[in-house]
Structure 1
Amino acid sequence: MSESLAVGVDIGGTNLRGVIANEAGEFLFREKEKINTKDKKGISRQIIKLVDDFCESAKIEVNDLKGIGIASTGPMKRKEGVLIEPTNIPFDEVPLKEPIEKKIDIPVSLINDCIAGVLGEKEYGIGSERNVENLVYVTMGTGIGGGAIVDNHLLIGEGGNAAEIGHFTVDPEERLECGCGKKGHWEAYCSGKNIPNYLRLRFSEIGDERVQNSLLHDLVSGDYSEIDAKLFFDAVRKEDELANQIAEEIGNLNAIGFSNVIDAYAPSLITVGGSVALKNEKIVLPPVQKQVKNHIRNIEPEIAITPLKEDVGLYGAVAEAFTSPNQSESRYL
């Protein structure tokens, strides 16, 4: 084998994506399929088959691989390689490391998908280009999450669950409940899944007459249960007055969330990904970049969309796979 190869896997809410890549971060082959939730070892079997397919395509033996890195939503027990009550997967525990290593005798490492995002950015994105030592990645998609590198040290946390920034409080009045059961969290107001809840809250506060004269009302024919984040951003792009007002409010909540991140981790660079940010960059980012200075105590960092786009977690999974097991907890010390 002429170059070292590894497999990176990203377990999302619906799909499992995988790549085989070299140490330069070049994806040689990639696959995507629906997650197997028939039983708790279904995902492990999927990954094993994925690895076999990649090795056949690359014309190598499985034992030639450096390792397998798996990025996934938590919560998790990282060292044990087990997911604990993961979102959209109907099991209390989903073992990954043990069943895969039992079948394939190479190292398997599990990492939170948002932590994988900052690792991918550090190894293969802007962080690598600029040799950034203090870096945060924020994902704004179905939920809100993040990963942080401080003084060149990747923050892992107990169980592998550090930097749960989506659960920072941005509304002390606690008007909305987060999916975690607590109130006032950033994710409860500004994530793709929960923006509709904020819209309905504001509609009830603003009053029927003004809402009924808005494009938001027309887009769902008055049925507010049908509104979603895409329709909202479409209305903003069409310069609907009410939609723009609410977008400004969401922008301020996002600025508070980002300011908490800045004061917690003191990054020189924050990169942003996730479907909400990637598809609506010109709506989501400018209010944050404009308003964050009103809230922070630390030095204002650059805030930019990740150049790795939707693959940032896959890049992190690949980087994790190339790390030897005895180094994974202290990668940059």
Structure 2
Amino acid sequence: MSKYCFGIDVGGTSVKCALFSAEGTIEEKWEIPTRTEQEGVKILPDIAEAILKKMEEKEITREEAVGIGIGLPGPIEENGEIACAVNLHWGRKNVEKELEELTGMPVKAGNDANVAALGEMWKGGGKGAKNLILATLGTGVGGGIIINEKIVTGAHGAGGEIGHAMINPAEEKACNCGNKGCLEQYASATGIASLARKALGKTEKESLLRSKSHVTAKDVFDAYKEKDALAQEIVDEFAEYLGRALAVFACVADPDVIVLGGGVSKAGQVLVDCVEKYYQKYAFSACKATPIKLATLGNDAGICGAAKLILSR
């Protein structure tokens, strides 16, 4: 009888690994370095070795293991192939097939942001929901959409790429993706800092932010909490962009809950309150009651979602 599974979250510098019970309890967590040299040829063999060593250490047989779930930074197609993972120096690769051959166990792969959304639905801010939108507000804006407990991947593995929805047709500066006016340009940590620099350049208004040589998103929210007038204007602009975008996504997905994660979410409930005001303003009537909550799993969202991937296979 299967008793265990593994959840793997592959990042550009480290791979987070976890052994789970088949009921979903984390038994042990550890990390290994992500060796990206030589076009990342060692990454999957290193993961396989780490898993097999852990099984030997814990005296777990292959019959006792459900398999391996793995989240990766790139679009994953239905057949388990990743088209490209720039941070890992990979081109097209069938992750599921290769890792199955290396371990002798079933493997299910997913995009890291989508997998994090699954984790938050299973054990985090969206626990108990079957339909969820996760927006991860970090250096960029990632996201995941879950419908009836299933990740929305789409035809090209790009389902849930909410950070690259175009929300400002007047934008002249290009996003990292090459388009202009993407949500990521306003709702990420770098986007908020950019809004702050623009605001500081447009006015002589006194602000706590003027004492900072390099304004960050955290600085903006800290000043906001001190009732700094300019910080309030910046947060208000950010919140309108994000609240309006979430209202559009909710129209399509009709989630039970919207979860906000990533580094910006450390601002806490004040973030939810600001965004919720604009979400309420723009949301379709049937979706207005959808709650917005903070993510709770932090760095464990990826490993939890990866485990859920294979447990639900």
**Global fold match (TM > 0.5):** yes
Partner of 2:243: 255
Distance 2:262 2:277 in 1: 20
Superposition pairs of residues 123-272 of structure 1, within 5 angstroms: 123-125=122-124, 127-129=126-128, 132-204=129-201, 206-207=202-203, 209-210=204-205, 213-220=206-213, 226-272=214-260
Q: 1:268 to 1:77 in 2, by over 3 A?
A: closer
**Aligned residue type for 1:117:** A
Distance 1:185 1:121 in 2: 24
What TM-score, normalized to structure 2? 0.88
Asked if the contact 1:252–1:291 (Cα under 8 Å) also holds between the matched residues in 2, the reply is yes
Partner of 2:26: 27
Q: 1:241 to 1:139 in 2, by over 3 A?
A: same
Q: Deviations over 1:134-158 (max 9, x none)?
A: 3222222222222223345442212
Q: Deviations over 1:290-316 (max 9, x none)?
A: 221111114220111133333222211
Asked if the contact 2:126–2:259 (Cα under 8 Å) also holds between the matched residues in 1, the reply is no
Q: SS of the counterpart of 2:7?
A: strand
Partner of 2:72: 72
**Aligned residue type for 1:198:** L
Residue 248 of structure 1 deviates from its aligned partner by 1.5
Partner of 2:278: 291
Q: 1:243 to 1:13 in 2, by over 3 A?
A: farther
- Segments of structure 2 that go 5 or more residues without pairing to the other structure are none
What TM-score, normalized to structure 1? 0.83
Residue 250 of structure 1 deviates from its aligned partner by 0.9
- Structure 1's consecutive aligned runs of 4 or more residues displaced over 6 angstroms after TM superposition are none
Q: 1:83 to 1:4 in 2, by over 3 A?
A: farther
**Aligned residue type for 1:50:** A
Distance 1:239 1:57 in 2: 54
- Segments of structure 1 that go 5 or more residues without pairing to the other structure are 221-225, 325-333
Distance 2:49 2:27 in 1: 17
Residue 236 of structure 1 deviates from its aligned partner by 2.9
Distance 1:287 1:127 in 2: 19
Residue 22 of structure 1 deviates from its aligned partner by 1.3
Residue 46 of structure 1 deviates from its aligned partner by 2.5
Asked if the contact 2:10–2:70 (Cα under 8 Å) also holds between the matched residues in 1, the reply is yes
Distance 2:298 2:26 in 1: 14
Partner of 1:304: 293
Partner of 2:267: 280
Residue 93 of structure 1 deviates from its aligned partner by 4.1
Residue 38 of structure 1 deviates from its aligned partner by 1.1
Distance 2:64 2:190 in 1: 41
Distance 1:252 1:179 in 2: 22
Residue 286 of structure 1 deviates from its aligned partner by 0.7
Distance 2:12 2:192 in 1: 18
**Aligned residue type for 1:269:** V
Residue 26 of structure 1 deviates from its aligned partner by 0.9
Residue 35 of structure 1 deviates from its aligned partner by 2.0
Q: Deviations over 1:250-292 (max 9, x none)?
A: 1111111211221121112112222211x11233211112221
Q: 1:217 to 1:314 in 2, by over 3 A?
A: same
* Percent of aligned pairs with the same amino acid: 27
Is 1:9 matched up with 2:2?
no
Asked if the contact 1:176–1:189 (Cα under 8 Å) also holds between the matched residues in 2, the reply is no
Distance 2:22 2:49 in 1: 22
